[in-house]
Structure 1
Amino acid sequence: MAKSGPERPGRVRAFKPKVSTGCKTCKIRRVKCDEAKPSCKRCSSTGRKCDGYFYSGAPSSTTRRLPPPIDPAKDITSTNTSIDVCPSLNFLDSNLEQRSFSFFHQNTIPQLSSIFGSPSWKQLNRLLLQAAYHEPAVRHAAVALGALHEHFELSSRPLLSPNEESSSTQFAVQQYVKALGYLVNPAIRRGKPAADVALITCILFVCFENLRGEYSMALSHINGGVKIIEEIAQTSSTPISPSSSEGSTPSPPTVSLEVSQIPYVPLSTLSLIFIEFDVQASGLVSNRTRALSARKFDMPSTGYGPDIPTVFKSADEACLALDHIRTHGVRMLDTALRKKKGPPDMADMRVTLDLIHSFSSIRLKQWSGAFDTFLVRNPHLVNDRGVLMLKMHRVFMGVNTAVGRMGLIADETIFDQFLPQFKLIVELCEKIIAVESVMDRPRPIFCLDTGIVICLFGVISKCRDGETRWKALDLMMSTDRQEGLYHSRLAGGVAKRVIEIEEEGLAQPVLVADLPNSQRLAGVEVEFDHGQKRGTVRYIRRPLVRGPPGPGEVIEEYIEW
């Protein structure tokens, strides 16, 4: 047998250490990245989209640790911790920008959706960083919010007074102005801004103004975001869904914004967030209609719809389903009230309210069955903070649904029958605060979702059992939290005045039977002064179903914070 030729040596691959840096696109393609900021040249030269750089909050051997900033007005080094800053943040101009952006990533983002656990907030948070790397408007808004949030956590008085300005808040305002400039000034940006970038930045602006206590400005940003959603809905020829970027034709651009084919955050997610904002703002401010309550503003979203399974797979799924029940009930009521101008026809209204009650109560019963089965299968979650929140909102929604069936409320005594539910809400709030008190690091609560403040305020204003409502007030004032547009201590001050006005001249403790209907308040209206940390609160005795309140039926007071 013929002997074969000399044996060819096998290819020996040269050893090269794994590269842990580089943009996400190059790492996935396993090619060398030149690490140019904000987008690498390898991606841009080949027509690919550079997806930015990975950033891990965990410190590494190359991670720099920035010491706490020194505020000339107050030495906060004794209460603060250092912030880990990744080298991939070198595209930011200064150490202070890097520190604030790192605080935003490590502390602000986890808190934004940490209370009720809404999946809409969670999805936004997962995708926010990518937008911040690529978009200067989002980036500077994130830096501004991170700087202010750090000050918020360290300040003994989170709601800053008009004369209390420190170097950290001045820096935050400067970054805020930069973000505004990139968003609205055509001289420093190219072409029309993308709709999702404008909405993301708008959300960060709402957070920023809430932390500053500038609620009139926060409402202005909410209204701006609502206007963008309206514009998209009116000019889009096809629904914008989470999967619309895959194999579908992008919707035509709006008049002033472009609808990106591949948005950083799905417009359906952003729409849900602004629907939540819209409900919060309309419940807080007098004479404000819910602009996004019409069905035409719906953008299909995975998991958000009328279908309720026999058992929920997760608390997130349960949260989305409960959100849909609430939003749909509000939408049906708004539609009924807008059908005719002038006072509503009570006969027609009662028929409508019966239909709304039937729909909401059936859905809420289905939801409770699926939720209770989920808890049976997951007993370790019984005392989870998010689960306790869902339990509390179920009870609160049940009261609102039952009261709604009774018609537009002419007699405040109808709330007296719900004393057991009010007591349960207070008990659940107490458990939630207790769970929060054993967290790794006690801190003021900051989120944009609806948490315990609105439920406690409902108990204080509608439960006339003295022991229960005063306990609810004590809980509200004991916790320092900013939940969307509601700050616990500011709302608590208004709630305390409700009790004082109703219980004036009565011996303590006040029982339900001690308060006649004529002495009870029917509602509270708030009007913020634009650009000022003050507003007008109107405590109204006359139910609106009986017409506009007359002289002596409104107590008007000014508040400052």
Structure 2
Amino acid sequence: MADENHRDLVVLPKPKRRGRTGCITCRIRRIKCDESKPSCNQCTGTGRTCDGYLTPKQQPPVAFLMVISDGVQVETHPEAAHACQYFRDVCAPALVNYGSASFWNRLVLQACHNDESLKHLMIAASHLDRQICQSGLLDNIAFYSHYGKGLRLITQARNPDTASLLIACLLLMLCDELQQKYYSALQHLISGRKILTAYHPCMRGSTGNIVIEEIGPIFSKLESDTREFQKQLVPTISRQATDVPYTDDIHHLSCFSLLCPFISVDQSAFALQAIASDCTRSRIQGIAPRTRFHMVTSLTSDLNTWHARFVAFEKTLTAATESRMYFHLNLLRTYHLCLHIISRCAPFNQELAFDGYHESIELVLVSCDILMTGALSTKFIPPLFFVATRYRSLSFRRRAIKSLRRCGPDGQLLADMASRIARVEEHGIPGPVLCSDIPEGKRVQIQSMELDPSNQSYNLYFKRHPFTENVLPDYLTFPSQGWVWGESSSTLCHASRLLEAVQRFDFMNFWYDEDLG
């Protein structure tokens, strides 16, 4: 009985599963493919066309997010741990002029804790920033030690991550600007641009990398602003309205402004004048911003917005219109550059802060010199008086005063004021040449000018350091002869009103003046 039951059992063969890597034709025919390359023999042997093989799906990369608790110190060395915390709590929240708060406070910090080279650069930047804020001479050995370690680890990396290299460029720029090494910062900007170019030269859409998506527009804006500050030096014949940015490779990563462009040069001028009033009137406690990455409350945002609308307006102009407006367009760029400097120095009442913008201030004077070769105008008075009274380099100050004397009677009057103020600051200093040759204690701020009751002289009031309300003003006396053009009260007060206008950087006071010929 048992044998009969055993004979009734039928052992079925184990079904063979077809491979998932066969050619398309064999999979459709439901036969086994021998998977020969480039065409399988099952197809070619029977006279069929082999349609090839499907591309195998790649496994998506593993994504991870490093969560850093506020109460956990990743760095164990006490000094380094303090520097990391200082960067997180003080530095990173302020670096939002280029890059969002999320970029600096989250992505950069995560990258620094995940990459040893970035961590050292972050600590180096933290040491520099703390030194400036505390106005003391800290030990620079710590800075150079971490700065050198960061550079060495970057150069020794075999397959460095693109995002890490770009963050390193920004941190190196930050370190250079904190030391006022602007040429070195420019080299790191150029390096970052080249890295972006090599990363994906043909990309015009999303990169798929959240750090690249954030950092691309930062480099684009940095380059755009650097280029705009030098744009007025380019002759009009070499520029066309259809010019593209210097780096087409990162142009697609720029944040295209949705702001409405200005509709005319006059509208641009009136909008900039409104910002100028805020720049010269504001008073802020604390120290002036250390780098271009730092912002000054709403002033930086307003100037950035104006700049975006102005660039958009320029792009609407034809080549012929732009050529016709060349003088006024470049003059507005010069005004904007002056206000960029004023907004970052004047509100903090710190005259030494202007020394940190020596390259930009010198560019203002060079721009005026170039534009004045075409036409002499009182429109140059505000920027020239700004250079003559707030920049202490001997040669540039003298050049600004000399150029002021070419700007008609008003320019000559203001040149006399600037010349007397320069002599006050340089008195007792043997052979002053550079800004640093005039110490903070010797610098003065012009306050106002008043006509004495006898109408025989003007008193030019100024304050010495520290320029606070408790400091009593001093004054210089100028004879009124040659400074008034008649006996009416309006002409007698002309010098006072003129000084008040340039002190407010009221360039609209001269905007509609005729050229001097």
Q: TM-score, normalised by structure 2?
A: 0.46
Structure with larger RCO (C-alpha < 8 A, sep 6+): 1
Which of the two has greater helix per residue? 2
Structure index of larger Rg: 2
Q: TM-score, normalised by structure 1?
A: 0.43
